[in-house]
A and B are shown apart, each in its own frame.
Chain A
Amino acid sequence: MQIFLDRLFDGISNGAIYAALALALVMVYRATGTINFAQGEMALFTTYLAWGLTTKHIPVAVCLLAATAAGFVLGAASERFLVRPIEKRSLLATLIVLLGLFSVLNASDGLIWGKGNQSMASLFPNKLSSYVSVFGARLYWANIGVWLLVAAVVAGMFAVFNGTRLGLHMRATANNRESAALTGIPVGRILMLGWGISAAIGAIAGVLFTPLTPDSLGLGEMFPLLIYASAAALFGGLDSPGGAVIAGLIIGIIEVMLPAYVPVIGGQLQEAIAFAAIVLVLLLRPQGLFGTREVERV
């Protein structure tokens, strides 16, 4: 029971991070119709930025805010200056450009911050003794902090999507860009905003995730996360923010539980689980758990 709970807590924390990144992927997909392959690297770049600031003894909360703002600018600028000029040509060209952005960002990280792995200070108390006991299992404050902050981000996004004019205009633009333009919605600004917000969410996810494991900030940190988050986004339905969040949590928990209780899988096959999930979803239910199949009368 105790070990099960320990694992569950870890699974939920990872799942919350996957959920946040998956939400970011879904936002871009709804705006532009592509998976943003550079989503993870955008998050890594901003996490490095935050880490660089923490080494200057700036409070972590301030570093988080700075990284979030930088993420917003990075995302919005990518849409405006890279994606928008290219996407008219073809979807494939857009994907290639995003792959290019992926490697440029990763190389920049290495150039600016070096190749060695770093440990990052946590926003929450993360000493070995900062936990509450739950049926003998240790629930660390760092975990609770991650859950609450991700929950707040997700709740905030849903409030914006479903409760504001801006959110309505974003949904309209995602649904039918041309009709949105015809109603006078400034579609370009809405797309930039969508990319900006999604990169900002990624920045928050990076700054929350990295301190959970010592020495985890490195050039290869975000790629597995992108795979898990893509699996979650697909699993939940690429156009469904709610689905992405639920699927992110499910994948986080499965990823911890499956190797623990199915010995064959072990530590090495963990990422294969995510790939298997992607393949299975594409085969059995292409629209995902909560995605919409295009049903439309003409």
Chain B
Amino acid sequence: MSLLEVTNLHAGYGPAEVLHGISLTVDAAEVVVVLGANGAGKTTTMRAIAGLIGRRGQVTVAGQSLPPGAPDAAVAAGLSLVPQGRGTFSKLTVEENLQVGAARRRDRAGIRTDIDRWYDVFPALASRTSQAAGTLSGGEQQMLAVARALMSRPTLLLCDEPSLGLAPLVVRSVFEILRQINADEGMAMLIVEQNAELALNLATRAYLLEVGEVVTSGAAATLRDSDAVRRAYLGY
């Protein structure tokens, strides 16, 4: 049994169906990447799994089935999504953002320890604890979004385009930190990414999405060498 099992997922917006039966799995401690062009349905997949939009099809985390359209149940099951565009609470301070990330936790001391820990990992945040999140740079906001998602102590972290709108150097450091967290914590990750090269380097396995369906999947190294992926996403 995998940690995350998505079976025959259908989802969309209003009458427009975007996902036509997607199935994928993520094992414990594994990093899986979802590749695909604009409009392939990557973000919709993430939003449907996290319960932000309705869906048909089965989503289970550690064998436990998630009800559709219930993001709090997804968080309770150990899932945490870093949404596309970061979704930081712009009017709350950095510290408050992290506190909100622990909304479902009751262990005051543990929350404090975790906040300090992520300040260590992301020093840029440590020097801005009482600054409104909306005034941070794009890179800092991405770090904050990741740190906030980690505050719920997930067993599975979903990241939707963590590189979007960031300078290449910043992107590299975000991915380096993700790699570190995966190695240290054994935290499983499902990452949607346009930057295929970076993503495939981080991931163990990958899925390739085209117009709402999985067209290829396999080990990251295999996909990196496949002609289809190369031509479409790596540009050589």
What distance in Å separates the Cβ of A236 from its nearest Cβ neighbour in chain B? 16
Contact string against A for B residues 72-103, beta-carbon threshold 8 Å, 1 for contact and 0 otherwise: 10011000110101011111100010011111
Whether A168 lies near B96 (C-beta < 8 A) is: yes
Whether A297 lies near B75 (C-beta < 8 A) is: no
Residues on the B chain within 8 Å of A186, using CB: 72
Whether B152 lies near A184 (C-beta < 8 A) is: yes
Whether B138 lies near A184 (C-beta < 8 A) is: no
Asked if B148 is at the interface of the complex by the 8 Å CB criterion, the answer is yes
Given A297-B135, A297-B138: A184 in contact with B71 (beta carbons within 8 A): yes
Smallest CB gap from B50: residue in A: A182
Given A168-B99, A169-B103: A175 in contact with B81 (beta carbons within 8 A): no
Asked if A257 is at the interface of the complex by the 8 Å CB criterion, the answer is no
Contact string against A for B residues 145-170, beta-carbon threshold 8 Å, 1 for contact and 0 otherwise: 00011011000000000000100000
Contact string against B for A residues 172-207, beta-carbon threshold 8 Å, 1 for contact and 0 otherwise: 100110111111111000000000000000000000
> How many A residues touch the partner, as a band?
20 to 34
Given A168-B99, A172-B100, A175-B91: A182 in contact with B137 (beta carbons within 8 A): no
What distance in Å separates the Cβ of B66 from its nearest Cβ neighbour in chain A? 13
Identify the B interface with A (CB < 8 A).
50-52, 71-72, 75-76, 80-81, 83, 85, 87-92, 96, 99-104, 134-138, 141, 148-149, 151-152, 165
CB < 8 Å neighbour of B71 from A171, A182, A295: A182
CB < 8 Å neighbour of B72 from A165, A184, A295, A298: A184
What distance in Å separates the Cβ of B67 from its nearest Cβ neighbour in chain A? 14
Residues on the A chain within 8 Å of B151, using CB: 183
Q: Sample 15 A-B pairs with CB under 8 A, ordered by A number.
A: A165-B99, A168-B99, A169-B103, A171-B91, A176-B88, A178-B87, A179-B83, A181-B51, A181-B52, A182-B87, A184-B72, A184-B76, A185-B100, A297-B137, A298-B165
User: Considering the complex of A and B, which 9 residue pairs feature the smallest CB-CB distances, nearest first?
Assistant: A184-B75, A179-B87, A184-B104, A181-B71, A296-B134, A172-B100, A183-B103, A175-B89, A184-B72
